Chains A and B, each alone.
Chain A
C-alpha cells in the first residue's frame, strides 16, 4: 500500500512539474515582444548557445560524415555500387543524423549550461532580485535563452549536414577514389529538398524547442542549492536526450512512414 502511495505521489509530482513547465512556456510564448530590450539579450544568448557550440558541431559533423563514407564504401563496394555512397551519406545525415546528433550534442553542451546558469542565478537570488527590481525574470532571463536555443538548433543542424556531406566526400571521393561526378549526381538525384532537407530541418526546429524548453525549465525549477543544480543539469541532459530520440521516431514515422 505504501509503495502504491509512493508511486502515486511520484506520478503527481511529475505531473505538477509538467504543469509548471507548461506555465513557463506559456509565459515565454505569449510575452509581448519588446524588441529594444530583447534584441541585445537575444544576440548575447545566440552567441552563447549557438556560436560557442559551433566547434563541437563542426568537428562531430566532419567525423560522422567521414565514418559514414568509410562504412558505406566498404559495404557498397561489394555490390559494385560504391557510387551510391554519396546518396547514403547525404540521406542519413540530412534525414536523421544531423538533427538528432546535433540535438544530443546541443543538450549536452548548451542545454546543461543553460540549466546550470539559470539554476545558479536562482541560488544566488539573482532571479528574486530581478523580481524585486520589478523585472519579470521569465521575460528577461528565460525568454531570450529559450528563443536563442530555438533559432540556433536548425542552423547548427544545417551546418552539421553540410560538413558531414563534405566529410563523406573527402573519404569517399578523395581517399577511396569514387568517381566524383557520380558521387554527387547520385546524391542530388536521391535527396529531395522539400522531403528530405526541409523535413530534417523541421525535426531540428522541434528538437530545439523541446531541448531548450527542458533546459530552461529545469534551471528555473531547480532546488537552489549546489546539489539541486547538479541534479537539474543531469536531468536536462537525460530528459532531453530521451525526448529527442523518442520524438525522432514519431516525426520520422509521420514524415517518411506510410501511416
Chain B
C-alpha cells in the first residue's frame, strides 16, 4: 500500500511537473541568449488552448501538438519583434504577453470549457524499462510529451555547452558586442532562440491540456509560467537543476492530492499553496550555495543590443 502510494506520488509528480519543465527549458534558451521573457504564463495558455482546440477540430492530437508549437512560436515572434527589433522594455512586453495570452486563450477556449479531449496522450509503458523496480513505473510509464521533456533536458544542456551554435548563443547573451565584432549575427541569434524557447513553452502548455488534465479549463496554467520563470533563476540557468525544480513542484502537488484521497485532511488552500512555495524554498537554498561563489546570470540579460549606440 505505502509502496504503491509512493510510486503513484513520484510518477504523478513527474507528469505534473513536465509542463513546467518544458517551459523552464524554453526560458533557459531565451534568457541565455539575453532576452528575458516574462510572458511564459501567457504563451503556455496559447499553447494549451491551440493544442486543445485543434485536437478537437481535427480529431488528431498530433496535429494539436503541432499547432500548439506553431502558434506559441508566433507569440514568441511577436515578443521578439517588440523586444529585439523595436528595443521594447522586456519586462513590460513580457507582462503584455501574459495579458494577451490569458485573454486570447479565454476567448478561444470559451466554447470548449468542460469538453473532454477526443484523443489524448496517455501514459505509455516502455517495454522492459518499465519493469525496473521503482524507476520503471516512475519514469518509464509516462505520456509521450513527458518523455520528450525529459530527453530535452539533456539535449538542451548538451547543445548549450558542447556545440558551436550553443557557444554562439551563450556569447550573445553574455556579451553581444563581442559576438557582433566576431561576425555573429546578434539579432538573428536572439530571434531564433526566443522563438524556439516560446515553442517549448507552448509545448508545455499543450502537455497540460492534452496529457495532464485532458479538459480545457479557463486559465489552466494557474501560475505555472511564473513558477517556471522563478525556477530558471534559482536553477542558475542550468537545465538539470531546472528538472529538479520542476519535478519537485509536481511531487508536492501530487502529494497534496494523494493525501486528500487517503483521508488525511489539511486545509485545501494550504495544500494548493505548497507546490508554489516549497520548490522556491529548496531552490533558494540551492541558489544561496552557488551564488556565494558567483552570480551566474547572463551578463546582457534584459539589455537590448543597439550597435551604434554611444
Same complex origin of A and B: no
CB within 8 Å of B: which residues of A?
none
